[in-house]
Amino acid sequence: MRAAICTKFEGAASLEIGDAPDPTPAPDEVLIDVRAAAVSFMDKLMAEGGYQLKPDLPYVPGTDAAGIVLEVGSEVTDFAAGDRVVGQMWHGSYAERAVTKHWKCAKVPETVDLDVASTVLHNYMTAYHALVQRCALKSGETVLVTGATGGVGLAALDMGRVLGARVIAGTGDPGKAQRLKDLGAYGVVNTREDDIREQVSRLTGGQGLDVCFEMVGGDIFLKLARSMRWGGRITPIGFVSGDIPSLPMNLPLLKGFSVVGVFEGAWAEKCPEEARDAADQIMNWIALGDLNPVIDRVLPLDQAADALRLLDSRQVMGRIVLHV
């Protein structure tokens, strides 16, 4: 089958289009005829060798695939050949066919385009797990989302809006501030400026943050930890800056906030029924028009390497989708 293949942990330069072996579903897996594959920051990190998981080389990148079920394993009863589905995986979606566990799939309603569906699981499951399950975000609370112009950040903004929270978007590109407000942000913080705490204070009337959905790490995490209000929750989602912060533990002690770990992939592995219910809920919200995933652009599979380069240059707002 045709696929984008990563031959070395050297990022976009190591991707080439070639033939990969056809996958065969295990008893608990679903085989998908891939029509669309979303491109994630996790794909970029993995191709560079910078992610926690390092697959054996060569491998096919890609965390999300939307398409039509071709075949199911002997233990699968909730999907059948012909179903429109989206599936999440550690890697493998940049190909004509992909396999994943049946409990990491969701049916795609007829009213939801497969391009849109391909952008959903990695992004919105992370936002759901963090905001709904781990932080119990309540209507009327204030949540700040860093990296808000990326796929996961925009999903968190969208999810926070649906949950009735006041969402502050954090971005290093002030030129995208109005677009973030149009998508539902109450206010925007420029994370490249030194006065992040002052910006947060102005937007919250000096009250601070109830929840911080933090993906950048480094000094930004430490500054925002000092902006939490009593009883707040700050979540280290990722470290796109490349700098994993060390938090002085007197901060949560004195300010009474919690540091809440979020690892959506591990949660989906350990709690498959919860994850499947969450995926179905998210797809239902999208079908109803409550959630609105953002697609930056659609490219052919042949341009998978270009898609990773675009992510690296921070020129993307939302998800890139590959047509397979």
pLDDT tens digits for 3-30? 999 999 999 999 999 999 999 999 999 9
Residues 12 and 107 in one domain: yes
Q: CA 51, CA 111: separation in Å to the nearest integer?
A: 35
Residue 14 lies in a domain: yes
What gap in Å lies between CA 251 and CA 222, rounded to an integer? 10
Range of the domain at 260: 123-264
Whole-angstrom Cα distance, residue 154 to residue 190? 16
* 266 band by pLDDT with thresholds 50, 70 and 90: confident
Q: Is residue 275 part of a domain?
A: no
| Domain presence at residue 87 | yes
- Does residue 306 fall inside a structural domain? yes
Task: Report the C-alpha gap between 264 and 106 in whole angstroms.
Answer: 16
Residue for token digits 């990969």? 20
Asked if residue 95 and residue 39 are part of one domain, the reply reads yes
DSSP β-bridge partners for residue 59: 6
Tell me what percent of the chain is helix, strand and coil, each rounded to the nearest 5.
35, 25, 40
Taking the model in full, what pTM does it have? 0.87
Q: Which two tokens stand for residue 82?
A: 């012909």
Query: What total number of domains does the chain contain?
Result: 2
Q: What is the pLDDT of residues 100-140, one digit of tens each?
A: 999 889 999 999 999 999 999 889 999 999 999 999 999 99
255 and 188, same structural domain? Answer: yes
Does residue 50 share a domain with residue 29? yes
Between CA 315 and CA 324, with CA 319 as vertex, the angle to 5 degrees is 115
Residue closest to 101 by CA, chosen among 59, 72, 122, 141: 72
Regarding whether 259 and 166 lie in a shared domain, the answer is yes
Residue 278 lies in a domain: no
In a shared domain, residues 81 and 205: no
Cα 39 versus chain centre, distance = 10
pLDDT in tens, 199-228: 999 999 999 999 999 998 888 999 999 999
